[in-house]
């Protein structure tokens, strides 16, 4: 399922025009990304927690696996922790 499928599902279930649900889905995902970019968590009750964690990127030497690793910069990697309720539903 992708964003387009989610918008179509919302449109059918709520009897709202597709262009409005497409925008609503885009706004939702943009809001999640914006919070993750600020280093904040997004907790959706009963579903899970979206977060981002800092990860250091290294430049390495490939000559005979030499241990010449140097940290070049840090990036934020998105993570997801499912809620217990979601985990139980998928395990049933």
Q: Phi/psi class of residue 20: alpha, beta or left (left: φ > 0; alpha: ψ in -120 to 50)?
A: alpha
Q: What is the pLDDT of residues 6-56, one digit of tens each?
A: 999 999 999 999 999 999 999 999 999 999 999 999 999 999 999 999 888
pLDDT at position 45, please?
95
CA distance 35 to 90: 27
User: Tens digits of per-residue pLDDT, 55-79?
Assistant: 887 776 555 555 666 667 788 899 9
């Amino acid at each position: 399922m992708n964003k387009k499928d989610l918008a179509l599902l919302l449109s059918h279930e709520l009897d709202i025009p597709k262009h409005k649900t497409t925008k609503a889905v885009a706004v939702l995902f943009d809001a999640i990304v914006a919070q993750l970019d600020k280093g904040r968590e997004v907790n959706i009750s009963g579903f899970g927690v979206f977060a981002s964690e800092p990860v250091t990127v290294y430049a390495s030497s490939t000559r005979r696996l030499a241990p010449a690793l140097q940290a070049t910069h840090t990036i934020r990697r998105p993570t997801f922790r499912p809620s217990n309720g979601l985990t139980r539903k998928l395990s049933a």
